[in-house]
Amino acid sequence: MCIDKDSLLISVFKILPEEIDFYIQAPSLEDDIILNMMSETEYPYYKLIKVNKLNKNNIIKLINVRDIIQYFQHIELRNNNEILFQGFDGVEFGIISKLIRIPEWFSVNFINTGECSLSNDW
């Protein structure tokens, strides 16, 4: 059980696989550090960060320290092109894949509070 409640996005990072594609729609984002981690995608409004074991903690630190999450309009976390999570409006709320094993602490902190719901479709 988490004693200090992390943000929804950081908690999602903790329960997803190490290697994921992090699609971000954030047109107002001006943080050079995170922007330099992003690459173009086939989708016109999204940038991509390839999250792996090596950079995952750095991304979490950037989210915590630089408060960049407020600029995220919409995000998708994918693995092998399957959606694992979608977050909306600064990741204030989101939808997680019904295929993800949800730990009890996550359910208590996010599912039960309505901050996150389980997808019916994916």
| pLDDT tens column, 8-54 | 999 999 999 999 999 999 988 888 988 999 999 998 889 999 999 88
- 81 located within any domain: yes
CA–CA dist 33, 7 (Å, integer): 20
- 3 located within any domain: no
- 25 located within any domain: yes
- 1 located within any domain: no
Amino acid at 81: N
- 82 located within any domain: yes
The DSSP output letter for 54 is T
92-110, pLDDT tens digit by residue? Answer: 999 999 999 999 999 999 9
* Order of strands, sheet of 47-51, starting from the edge strand that comes earlier in the sequence: 39-40, 47-51, 20-25, 74-79, 82-88, 93-96, 116-118
Domain count within the chain = 1
pLDDT at 101: 93
- 2 located within any domain: no
Q: Which domain holds residue 30?
A: 8-118
- 47 located within any domain: yes
